[in-house]
Each structure stands twice: as C-alpha cells, then as structure tokens.
Amino acid sequence: MKPIVQISLDVTEITEAIELAEMAMRSGVDWLEAGTPLIIAEGMHGVRALRERFPDVPIVADLKTMDGGYLEAELMAKAGATHVVVMSQAHDETIKCVVQAGKDFGVRVMGDNLASENMVDGAKKLADLGCDFVIHHIGYDERRGIAAAGGRFPSPMDQLREVVAAVPVPVQAVGGLSIQQAIQTPRYGAPLVVLGAPLTIDADSFQTASGDVEGALREICQQVHGHGEVPVGGTE
C-alpha cells in the first residue's frame, strides 16, 4: 500500500477547518479528517462543508463512537464522510453495527485502540470484528497527565511493530508523535500517517499552529510519499 498522509482538522470552526484543509491540499495531503473538536462543535455541518469544498477527497469523521454505532456512521456517511472511527472499548455489538453501516452506506471503518488495557489485543479485536483500518492511539489526556506528573508518557512507537504484526489491515499511529516520528511510521509497517496536534495544530488552543505550516506539510508529504509501497498484513 502506498503511504497516505492525513491531516486532522482539530479546530472548532468550519472556516478555519476549510482554510487549513485548502493549505493541506496544496501541500500534497491525501486525506482530510474532521477531528473530534470539529465534530463536537459543528457535527454533520462541518463534514458537509468539507465535502462541498472538496468533492473528491476522502474525509475521515473522527467520531470516537462508543454507542449508537449504526446511526452515527449513517449520519456521517450521508454528510459526506468516507471513513468513520469506532473505539475498541465500545461493546462488540457497537463495533459490529458500525461495520454493518459501513457496508450499507459505502464507508470504511477505522477502529481506534485508545485506552485498551492491552493495546495489541485491542487492535486485534477491532480487526477481527471487521474494521478496515486500525488506529494505534495514545490519548491526549493520558499524555498530558503523565507528563504533568513528571513521567515519561507512552508513545505509539513503543508497540507499533507489535500492533502491525498482529492485524491484517493497515495501521495508523497517533498520539504525541514528533514530525520525524510520524514520517518514519511507514518504516514500521504503518502506511497511514496522520498530522495534527501538535504537528500542525496548537495542542493547547486547538487553533492552527504558527510558523510555515504549509512549507512543513509539503516537506512531510514529499518524505512520506517517498517511502514507496508498505506491505500490509501482520506476521503473527
């Protein structure tokens, strides 16, 4: 699978999301993500606005679904999302409902293992229940809380190779990665590279980061796309 660059639009206003998305498209980004802050603030309206502005671009709706899976996936599919996100901590039936909605409405399902007691097992559960992709995710609050206590917070890189080996679907690593770490994830077998807070978004204010973001995005896209094909499918 060719590496894919996805930008997480973790902002709270449609206008800013569109502006950041336009910059991302100019820079070579492949997928847009309606981040959870945008979903909470604008819901279907945010996804619909992105679809109207970018009719041919894949759009991930980061719902972090825990219940009501079929309806949530259906609503976002009808708003224009091509991918929806369900959590490994959700009940198996919820994950199955999201997977079924994905089949019924033509959207792909990304399963997120955030907060799983065993991250590898969480990833396996998601793949076994029919998710098309696995997101290996260390959470925002978890990272900040451990750092505030003076500890070394876990990184998705710690178990990324294990997660990749355990599942037969493409993997994405999320949570506190540096730009260089994000660029290197295809070398670990994870072809879906996501850029968001704090790479292109200010992690404290959830506003577009300062500096030459467009130039940085362009360079990142060139490096990621330069990795070439990434084998998909675990070795376990």
> Is there a domain that residue 236 lies in?
no
Q: Report d(CA 169, CA 164) in Å as an integer.
A: 8
Region 70-80: what's the mean pLDDT? Answer: 98
Region 138-160: what's the mean pLDDT? Answer: 89
Q: Is pLDDT above 70 for 115? A: yes
> Is there a domain that residue 31 lies in?
yes
CATH label of the domain that carries residue 106: 3.20.20.70
Q: Is pLDDT above 50 for 198? A: no
Q: Contact, 156 vs 177, CB < 8 A?
A: yes
pLDDT-derived band at 109 (thresholds 50, 70, 90) equals very high
pLDDT-derived band at 206 (thresholds 50, 70, 90) equals very low
Q: Is pLDDT above 70 for 119? A: yes
pLDDT-derived band at 101 (thresholds 50, 70, 90) equals very high
Region 135-150: what's the mean pLDDT? Answer: 90
* The pLDDT of residue 180: 87
* The pLDDT of residue 201: 55
Q: Contact, 173 vs 3, CB < 8 A?
A: no
> Is there a domain that residue 234 lies in?
no
Q: How many CA atoms lie within 13 A of 176 on its CB side?
A: 19
Q: Report d(CA 84, CA 104) in Å as an integer.
A: 13
Region 200-211: what's the mean pLDDT? Answer: 57
* The pLDDT of residue 199: 57
pLDDT-derived band at 217 (thresholds 50, 70, 90) equals confident
User: What total number of domains does the chain contain?
Assistant: 1
* The pLDDT of residue 72: 98
* The pLDDT of residue 103: 98
* The pLDDT of residue 147: 81
pLDDT-derived band at 209 (thresholds 50, 70, 90) equals low
> Is there a domain that residue 233 lies in?
no
Question: Whole domain around residue 174: which residue ranges?
Answer: 4-225
Quick one: 133 exposed, middle or buried, by C-beta within 10 A (0-12, 13-18, 19+)? Answer: buried
Lowest mean pLDDT segment, chosen from 23-27, 114-118, 142-146, 223-227: 142-146
> Is there a domain that residue 48 lies in?
yes
Q: Report d(CA 1, CA 12) in Å as an integer.
A: 32
> Is there a domain that residue 96 lies in?
yes
> Is there a domain that residue 177 lies in?
yes
Q: Is pLDDT above 90 for 111? A: yes
Q: Count of CB atoms within 10 A of residue 198's CB? A: 15
